[in-house]
Amino acid sequence: MKVFYDEDSLLHNPPYEILDGHLVHYYESPLRPQNIKHELESSPSFTIHPTNKALDVLKHARKVHSEDYLHYLETAYAGWVADGGDKVPPPPIVALTSPGPLGQTAVLPEAFPHPKMLPRPPVADPGGLGAIARAGFYCFDLSCPITADTHKSALASARTALSAAEALSTNYPPHSPKSGIFALCRPPGHHAGTALCGGYCFLNNASIAARFLQDTDPSINSGSTQKLRIAILDIDYHHGNGTQEIFYEDPSVLYVSLHAQDDYPYYTGSKAETGSGAGLGCTHNHPLPRGTADDGYLTELQHALAEIREFAPAYVLVSLGVDTYVDDPISDFKLTRAGYTRVGRAIAHLNRPTLFVMEGGYHIETIGKNVRAVLEGFEAEEPV
């Protein structure tokens, strides 16, 4: 299986985050992709490929994200520095909690535009706000510090997904039999919405790749006006609120998510959320109780796969999170490595060209082996 990887994805390295009220080291660490890459390199089943630097990442990102949001990501850190935001030294506790450089600084929101605040028209031009106010406008939590290198890493992550999608569409026509390519993206993407970052995510890599596959569909050149049908299967522990929002009214993209019930991001992911307008019926959520283990997960996965088969997509994208692992430090499912092999085998029976896009997974010691188990399970299985 081809694996696409970009070294620039390692540059984003905030010194800390706030989790459960505690100042802790940043769980979405550069060690994550490094360990995955190291594990996959040890097997002859995988070949590591560089990303295509000629791809116009912003051109394709504009198919998913708003222009003002993309501008914010590019200018947030410089604007914050210009406002003097980097002059406050990090707190001493960072020395005890962060493996990163203590002098590294980052933009982090102080307030968010809540609907219960004083009634006033929504801010039409957030560009007129100060740097910290803009951070609250474009972010929904405290997990996305923006450092001097964040924008470069976010672009590298999206480029990774685009390069993998390019290879998929070039080598495997729509509706062709099972084949797989892995985009080793970092930062992850499924929490990033049209104009919001959060949950460690800045650009929605899977969504950008989905639009790329639609835009490069050969049938477009023959005069077809119908978009290629894409299915996104999200198997991260957390609900992909960003991906759901992006395609909520789009009948050409099916979004199916298995995730923890009543866990982060807390306010999305119920079964009642099924799409809107033309996209009604194209969102399927499968919230599962905390403590879900292999058998319960695989049973629900079969229901999700049946929904994808009924949709009959030309391509399948898998938002691959292994934070469902039994020892993951910030999640509460109980999947095992053997369970991940079963997950990969089950997905293979969709018998479609499949792009795996890396999302979450924070148990550094096992993340590579768990990803490998999913991908090898997929590769080994022969669809019936």
Q: What residues act catalytically? A: 191
The answer to whether residues 348 and 311 touch, using CB atoms and an 8 Å cutoff, is no
247 within 8 A of 193, measured Cβ to Cβ: no
Which two three-digit tokens encode residue 70? 């993309």
* HSE (side-chain half, CA atoms, 13 Å) at 69: 21
Radius of gyration of the chain from its Cα atoms, rounded to whole angstroms? 20
* Alpha-carbon distance values, 282 to 10, 174, 199, 230, 292 (Å): 34, 20, 24, 11, 25
Contact 77, 146 (CB under 8 A): yes
A 10 A CB-CB count for 303 gives 12
Instruction: Report which of 152, 149, 77 is spatially closest to residue 107, judged by C-alpha positions.
Output: 77
Rounded Cα gap, residues 242 and 146, in angstroms: 18
Query: Could you give the residue ranges of the DSSP H alpha helices within the chain?
Result: 31-41, 57-61, 67-82, 94-97, 131-138, 150-171, 205-215, 241-247, 294-311, 337-348, 364-380
Cα separation values, 130 from 111, 300, 322, Å = 12, 46, 37
With contact defined as beta carbons under 8 Å apart, do 6 and 164 qualify?
no
Question: Are the CB atoms for 143 and 88 separated by under 8 Å?
Answer: no
